[in-house]
């Protein structure tokens, strides 16, 4: 079969994999190839056991793979053949040198740009999918303009707004697709070509365009606003715990104001994930670079409140359990940074687990999808940690349960059975406010929700 166009994606991660699978699924006339420098990741994409857990992903990968969706490590050939190249390599926070702990580490991105330049024999459209600090496209254009063989590159910014756990739904029915381009004739042509791909399934009025810098900045700002909303509601949980106010009632009341809306108001042990912290710290770094100290401090506060919220959770546990956790067995329900994903990057559970180990508690960790990642995250930590799939087995013999992840399966567990198997007095710290607290109290538990008066038997 001859295809209308060859699309390549560099980086087969949480963003590249699902996004390319959706394009292949919706556009059978395009050939979509995904390359990665990591051969075992590519092997997993080609196996029955995909490298990431995402509801609905399996179905679309299996219906397109080896028809118009291909996973390979052949980067050079992929680049040569492609007319459109999406770049979705990771952009972690720098761990060294200037801007360590804040600025984006752009080494993978630059290597990728140079590789595109080296292997290209014809002109191409380069699409930035990864979240980059503002003006990265400009640097990419500069590298690509070093071309010696008359090839021309148009760089577009097309940030991905999918959230993990709902990636397939977000890709299929996006709130909006944003494309940033130059206003040059070839920039406009490149933009139109990308619009054509998305038009196969996204209504035209949801595909919006802007200049490249607005597009890059919008992604950082979107994540900063989302994280700020959770930090804002979480900041009032401490207040509610000191008074008789109840954070769920407050969230409901403010969420019904149509100017505010009711999403992203679930108070929690803290927000996590690969993007929020990294993107806000990038913004903070850029603000300081431009001398905007007040703006930098404002957004840094969003990250600080999140750290405070995680610390507070552990201090509440310590306080409730008679000021010592040494030798006590604590079961963590969930380790993923949110429900419906096996991803644990920046998960609050990592922070909490480490603090509990510092308090000399013993940990039993359970999670339906994230135990392998949990083992990697806590590898080398000096403490007693067990990993058990079954939540009943995991909580047996424990002094306390701490809910870290909002997995639905935890809501319908048989808590009478769990209570019987635990050490008394038995405690539940619900870091996601998903359980029926009054019922748990009636069973015999001492229950500590977030942002509400605890239910205790003493």
In the complex, which residues of this chain contact ligand UDX (CB under 6 A)?
A: 10-16, 36-38, 41, 88-91, 108, 111-112, 130-131, 160-164, 223, 226, 230, 264-266, 268, 271-276, 337-338
Nearer to ligand UDX among residue 27 and residue 35 (C-beta): 35
- Strand order in 385-387's β-sheet? 385-387, 362-366, 329-333, 400-403, 427-430, 446-448
Spatial contact of 7 and 82, defined as CB atoms under 8 Å apart: yes
Positions marked active-site:
275
- Report, in Å, the least distance between residue 79 CB and ligand UDX: 12
How many angstroms separate the CA atoms of 212 and 155, rounded? 9
Quick one: which of 150, 77, 138, 81 has its CA closest to 113? 138
How many angstroms separate the CA atoms of 435 and 457, rounded? 18
Residue least distant from ligand UDX (Cβ)? 13
Helix (H) or strand (E) holding 208: strand 207-211
- Report, in Å, the least distance between residue 47 CB and ligand UDX: 15
Quick one: which of 14, 51, 222, 22 has its CA closest to 130? 14
Nearer to ligand UDX among residue 110 and residue 141 (C-beta): 110
Strands (E), 290-342: 329-333
Nearer to ligand UDX among residue 106 and residue 418 (C-beta): 106
Sign of the C-alpha dihedral computed for residues 214, 216, 217 and 221 taken in this order = positive
- Report, in Å, the least distance between residue 327 CB and ligand UDX: 30
- Report, in Å, the least distance between residue 344 CB and ligand UDX: 10
Quick one: which of 144, 133, 127 has its CA closest to 178? 127
How many angstroms separate the CA atoms of 324 and 424, rounded? 15
Nearer to ligand UDX among residue 337 and residue 410 (C-beta): 337
Nearer to ligand UDX among residue 162 and residue 418 (C-beta): 162
- Report, in Å, the least distance between residue 160 CB and ligand UDX: 6
Q: Which residues contact 313 (CB under 8 A, 6 or more apart)?
A: 269, 270, 348, 352, 402, 429, 431, 450
Nearer to ligand UDX among residue 16 and residue 449 (C-beta): 16
Nearer to ligand UDX among residue 343 and residue 399 (C-beta): 343
Quick one: which of 333, 402, 397, 325 has its CA closest to 360? 325
How many angstroms separate the CA atoms of 317 and 321, rounded? 6
- Report, in Å, the least distance between residue 204 CB and ligand UDX: 22
Nearer to ligand UDX among residue 131 and residue 395 (C-beta): 131
φ and ψ of 56, to 5 deg: 90, -10
Distance, C-alpha 212 to centroid of its chain: 23
* String of DSSP letters for 104-138: B--HHHHHHHHHHHHH-SS-EEEEE-S---TTHHH
- Report, in Å, the least distance between residue 422 CB and ligand UDX: 26
How many angstroms separate the CA atoms of 48 and 70, rounded? 14
- Report, in Å, the least distance between residue 82 CB and ligand UDX: 14
How many angstroms separate the CA atoms of 394 and 374, rounded? 15
Residue with tokens 């556009």: 27
């Amino acid at each position: 079969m001859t295809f209308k166009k060859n699309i390549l994606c560099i980086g087969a991660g949480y963003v590249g994999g699902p996004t390319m699978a959706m394009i292949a699924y919706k556009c059978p006339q395009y050939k979509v190839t995904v390359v990665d420098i990591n051969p075992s990741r590519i092997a997993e994409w080609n196996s029955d056991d995909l490298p990431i857990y995402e509801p609905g992903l399996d179905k679309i990968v299996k219906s397109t793979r080896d028809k118009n969706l291909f996973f390979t490590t052949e980067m050079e050939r992929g680049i040569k053949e492609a007319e459109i190249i999406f770049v979705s390599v990771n952009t972690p926070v720098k761990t060294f040198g200037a801007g360590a702990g804040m600025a984006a580490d752009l080494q993978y991105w630059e290597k990728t740009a140079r590789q595109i330049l080296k292997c290209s024999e014809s002109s191409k459209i380069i699409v930035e999918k990864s979240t980059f600090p503002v003006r990265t496209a400009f640097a990419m254009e500069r590298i690509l303009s070093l071309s010696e063989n008359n090839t021309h590159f148009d760089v577009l910014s097309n940030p991905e707004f999918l959230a993990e756990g709902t990636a397939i739904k977000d890709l299929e029915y996006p709130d909006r697709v944003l494309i940033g381009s130059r206003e040059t004739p070839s920039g406009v042509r490149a933009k139109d070509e990308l619009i054509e791909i998305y038009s196969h399934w996204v209504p035209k009025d949801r595909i919006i365009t802007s200049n490249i810098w607005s597009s890059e900045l919008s992604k950082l700002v979107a994540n900063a606003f989302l994280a700020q909303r959770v930090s804002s509601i979480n900041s009032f949980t401490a207040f509610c715990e000191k008074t008789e106010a109840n954070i769920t009632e407050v969230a409901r009341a403010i969420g019904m104001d149509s100017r505010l809306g009711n999403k992203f108001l679930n108070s929690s042990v803290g927000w996590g994930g690969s993007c929020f912290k990294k993107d806000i710290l990038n913004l903070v770094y850029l603000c300081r670079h431009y001398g905007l100290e007040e703006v930098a401090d404002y957004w840094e506060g969003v990250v600080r409140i999140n750290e405070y919220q995680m610390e507070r959770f552990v201090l509440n546990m310590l306080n409730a359990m008679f000021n010592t956790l040494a030798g006590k067995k604590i079961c963590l329900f969930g380790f993923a940074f949110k429900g419906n994903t096996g991803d644990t990057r920046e998960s609050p559970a990592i922070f909490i687990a480490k603090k509990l180990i510092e308090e000399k508690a013993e940990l039993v960790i359970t999670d339906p999808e994230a135990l392998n990642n949990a083992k990697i995250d806590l590898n080398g930590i000096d403490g007693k940690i067990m990993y058990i799939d079954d939540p009943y087995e995991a909580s047996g013999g424990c002094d306390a349960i701490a809910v870290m992840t909002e997995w639905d399966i935890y809501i319908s567990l048989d808590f009478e059975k769990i209570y019987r198997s635990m050490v008394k007095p038995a405690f539940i710290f619900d870091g996601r406010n998903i359980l029926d607290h009054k019922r748990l109290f009636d069973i015999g538990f001492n229950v500590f929700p977030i942002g509400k008066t605890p239910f205790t038997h003493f």
